[in-house]
Structure 1
Amino acid sequence: MSQTEALQSLLNAVAAGEVNPEVALEKLKHFAFEPVGDFAKVDHHRSLRTGFPETIWGPGKTPEQIAAIMEVMRDRNPVVMATRIDPAVSDQLQEKVIGLRYYPTARICAISPITIEPQYPGTIGILSAGTADLPVAEEAAVTAELSGFRVQRLWDVGVAGIHRLLSNRHVLESANVLIVVAGMEGALPSVVAGLADCPVIAVPTSVGYGASFGGLAPLLTMLNSCAAGVGVVNIDNGFGAAILAGQILRTAYKLQ
């Protein structure tokens, strides 16, 4: 049950006399946020404000802390997600959290239904320049799918073999938002934006030789793109790109 549905259900129960105001008040105390031990405060209202529930950032947290936060969130959200989870941490979480699924390439752990139907019309196309960019690209893809959006993947279509991209023009033409993930010199988003008629979200990765400066070179290339309609997120931020793409589709849906 979503936060909106849970709040509506509680208000309906009070109006019908099934729940007295005192009980409802106790429930509402933790409706906005809820303490988890002495180390976290879960923002239960985030999905009401932004359309997306809070996501757990894995690095810096112990498996015990991540598991405790997930257990608090699971009753209030249809999907609970933790990002940047290494396999060793995932193994420990599997022992603590029932029904946890792990996406190894994306490094995401999630409590979610086996199948998630898209909640909004439209398609997010996600392209990666090279195979080494796949962890960031898959982070974007899995995040978008868990958030209820339709995703189409197109991997290893970098500019060093531009014919691979050009032979898959149908992916560009069928997408409503494109996420383009690239390291090295980061040229792929500019090429894609010159061919596509939809917003392009560029994601620089830290993949590259010494002069790529851990992703700064592709970041600057993307920021200086001569193609119009390119927005850029932070280095290796596949999660942020997916949420931005989702906001674009949700806004388009509301404007219909």
Structure 2
Amino acid sequence: MVMAEGKTPEQVSEALEALLRSEGIAIASRVDPELLDDLEIPEDADVEYDEAGRVLVLKDPEYEPPYRGGRVGAVAAGTSDLPYLSECATVLEALGIEVHTEIDVGVAGPHRLLAAVRRLRKFRPHAVVAAAGMDGTMPVALNAMLDVPVIGLPTPVGYGLGGSGEAALLGMLQSCSPGLVVVNVANGIGAAAAAVKIVRVCLEGEKPSKKPRNSRR
């Protein structure tokens, strides 16, 4: 993973190529369209760019995603939260994880959130990432209604402290709904990393166990 923000095109290009050659996949976050135009991308790489989330994914044509079978819900309280959720979802999908997205299900419309919960339960995710700005209430409520890990992603959306994401972050950290995992403001990459770790453990647990053969004397 390369955070492109603050780096020169040459630095980002070198880091991506090194990752691509060693891992078969290279991901860069915070890649603005202007920076993308200046990058040197290997000609043999498969290229995916999510403009909303500003994520660039390079893959070797022979790359095999390691987490196929993984399922993660991606929930946005409002459409303004989508860039941060998209950053997370793009990383998850690049690693082979199926993502089910729900948009505009904030607590301003509880009926929409309840409908989203029903759809998420049918999807049976291993984890859910919930992005919200303003007071950050939606992930707290969602966590209370689901029996899988929920990762709260505070976003810098709203007014005053809400606009910086502080209100959402503090609200999630003070959650009355126990077990809510919270990452830093606008940290879609951190939310994706937490979800991947949960998926990895779940997939390992779903593998059929090998029964030891009965030893005979």
Q: Smaller-chain TM-score range?
A: 0.7 to 0.9
Question: What whole-Å deviation, never above 9, does each CA across 1:67-111 have from its counterpart, x for those lacking one?
Answer: 122222222222111000111001222x54434331101101111
Q: Match of 1:70, SS? A: helix
Aligned to 2:94: 146
Question: In the alignment, which residue of structure 2 is the partner of 1:177?
Answer: 127
The residue number in structure 2 matching 1:52 is none
**157, 176, 181: which is aligned to 2:105?**
157
2:37 is matched by which residue type in structure 1? Answer: D
- Measured after TM superposition, the shift of residue 254 of structure 1 is 2.6
Listed as ranges, the gaps of 5+ residues in structure 1 are 1-54
Identity across aligned pairs (percent)?
Answer: 38
Over 3 Å counting, the alpha-carbon distance change for 1:118 and 1:172 in structure 2 is: farther
- Aligned CA RMSD, in angstroms, stands at 1.9
Counterpart check, 1:68 vs 2:14: yes
Distance 2:98 2:129 in 1: 13
Residue 78 of structure 1 is matched in structure 2 by: 24
Change (3 A) 1:242 1:96: closer
Query: What is the TM-score normalised by the length of structure 2?
Result: 0.86
Moved more, 229-238 or 166-175: 166-175
Indicate the larger mover: 108-117 or 171-180. Answer: 108-117
Q: Which has the larger radius of gyration?
A: 1
Contact 2:28–2:55 under 8 Å retained in 1:
yes
Counterpart AA for 2:97: F
Partner letter of residue 82 of structure 1? A
Q: 1:200 aligns to what?
A: 150
In structure 1, how many angstroms separate the alpha carbons of the residues matched to 2:125 and 2:202? 14
- Give the aligned partner of residue 87 of structure 1: 33
- TM-score, normalised relative to structure 1: 0.73
Please give the secondary structure, in 1, of the residue aligned with 2:23: coil
Once residues 113 and 146 of structure 1 are traced to their aligned partners in structure 2, the CA distance between those partners, rounded to angstroms, is: 12
In the alignment, the residues of structure 1 paired with residue 65 and residue 5 of structure 2 have an alpha-carbon distance, to the nearest angstrom, of: 29
Q: Secondary structure of 1:167's partner?
A: helix
| Structure 1 residues 137 and 170: alpha-carbon distance in aligned structure 2, compared to 1, 3 A threshold | same
SS of corresponding position for 2:198: helix
Unaligned runs of 5+ in 2: 207-217
**Aligned residue pairs: how many?**
201
What's the secondary structure of 2:5's corresponding residue?
coil
Work out the CA distance in 1 between the residues paired with 2:127 and 2:38: 36
2:69 corresponds to: 121
2:214 is aligned to none
Compared CA separation, residues 127 and 118, structure 1 to 2 (3 A): farther
**Distance in 1 of aligned mates of 2:101 and 2:65:** 17
Question: Match for 1:249: what amino acid?
Answer: V
